[in-house]
Structure 1
């Protein structure tokens, strides 16, 4: 196994840990203390334009006391947070995450360049999985925008 393949496998496992952690929080009402650093320019990241302008490359969000409507999906999550006194819904694909820090346990999951480079491949794999289940996908889903 090449080092690159190993890193992809490891990053995929880390994404699953994040997904399961967020699902537990969404289902149980547990109050976490999470810091999530993500790339704002990745395809699939949905944040208001004024935030994208203020944070053109990366943004840190904190899930602790004031977050709402946390929803976890197969390849992303969405949450409502307050920015400048206004509640906004944001959506973050798991592959856009650069660092995930659980302040309660002290655990930190970081993703190196390989996860950034493989984001397109990760998305392509997810679309392929969906198509194998009988869904129809558009070729536009596989293209960078």
Structure 2
């Protein structure tokens, strides 16, 4: 019956529903914000080659104050974030998401990693520098962070 796979798909539906609420005109309510970790080498992930090349295995994005054009679809979502002061668009299949965390309410979902796309290889989680703040957006800055501090040791 593959109950574990069905449960993973159902929980990815929670991620999709949360992103749909964030994409609504009123945006994220209160202090809610999302840390989304995904496999950059998973099938269907797309974005600037230079950005994905820096994180050949896994990447974490934060949707808080500065994100634009969030478009949650049925099988993937797209969002524009600032990296090094430049807007860059990412498209991420829900199946590529390995972690979803809303620290405002300590809500965490963790998923099994998908199989790598053809030609992908597995490397350790990369800790990323904080990108520059966008001058034209709302307060705060988009960040890429390592989730090592949240891992059980």
Q: TM-score, normalised by structure 1?
A: 0.73
Shift of 1:13: 0.8
Shift of 1:30: 2.5
Give the corresponding residue for 1:44. 44
Aligned counterpart for 2:4 among listed residues 1, 4, 7: 7
Aligned counterpart for 1:24 among listed residues 5, 21, 24: 21
Please tell me whether residue 61 in structure 1 is matched to residue 61 in structure 2: yes
Shift of 1:29: 2.7
The RMSD of aligned alpha carbons is: 1.5
Shift of 1:47: 1.4
Shift of 1:66: 0.5
Moved over 4 A (4+): none
The separation in 1 between residues aligned to 2:112 and 2:68, in whole angstroms, is: 29
Please tell me whether residue 110 in structure 1 is matched to residue 110 in structure 2: yes
Shift of 1:28: 3.8
Q: Deviations over 1:1-40 (max 9, x none)?
A: 5xxx121011011111011110011014323310000000
The separation in 2 between residues aligned to 1:30 and 1:51, in whole angstroms, is: 26
Give the corresponding residue for 2:96. 96
Structure of greater Rg = 1
Runs of at least 5 residues in structure 2 that lack an aligned partner in the other structure? 118-153
* Secondary structure of residue in 1 paired with 2:59: strand
Aligned residues: 113
The separation in 1 between residues aligned to 2:72 and 2:95, in whole angstroms, is: 14
Give the corresponding residue for 2:84. 84
Report 1 or 2 for greater relative contact order, CA contacts < 8 Å, sequence distance ≥ 6. 2
Say which structure is richer in helix: 1
The separation in 2 between residues aligned to 1:55 and 1:43, in whole angstroms, is: 15
